[in-house]
Amino acid sequence: MDLSNPSPENVSFMIDKITEKLRMVNVDAMKAENFSTSKYEDLHYMYKMVMKRNNITPNEMQAIAAELGTLRG
């Protein structure tokens, strides 16, 4: 998938993959429609960072979830 172009489909794909990787319980809070393409670069950076990690600590998960929260809207 080409994630170089901001699109609602790419936002949805990245959010889905991040929530899968983090095994987030409250996936309703991370619905793709809550994210706009206006913060696409930040979301793409977060996606790449999360995907390259093999292990994510609980503290890192909280920080990532908090950062994703700031990207919503």
pLDDT digits over 32-65, tens only? Answer: 888 888 999 999 999 999 999 998 898 998 898 8
Give the pLDDT band of residue 31 (cuts 50, 70, 90): confident
Cβ-based neighbours of 60, under 8 Å, separated by 6 or more:
53
Determine the angle formed by the axes of helices 8-22 and 40-52, rounding to 10 degrees: 30
The maximal CA–CA distance of the chain, rounded, in angstroms, is 31
Give the pLDDT band of residue 19 (cuts 50, 70, 90): confident
pLDDT at 28: 66
What's the whole-model pTM score?
0.81
End-to-end CA distance of the chain: 24
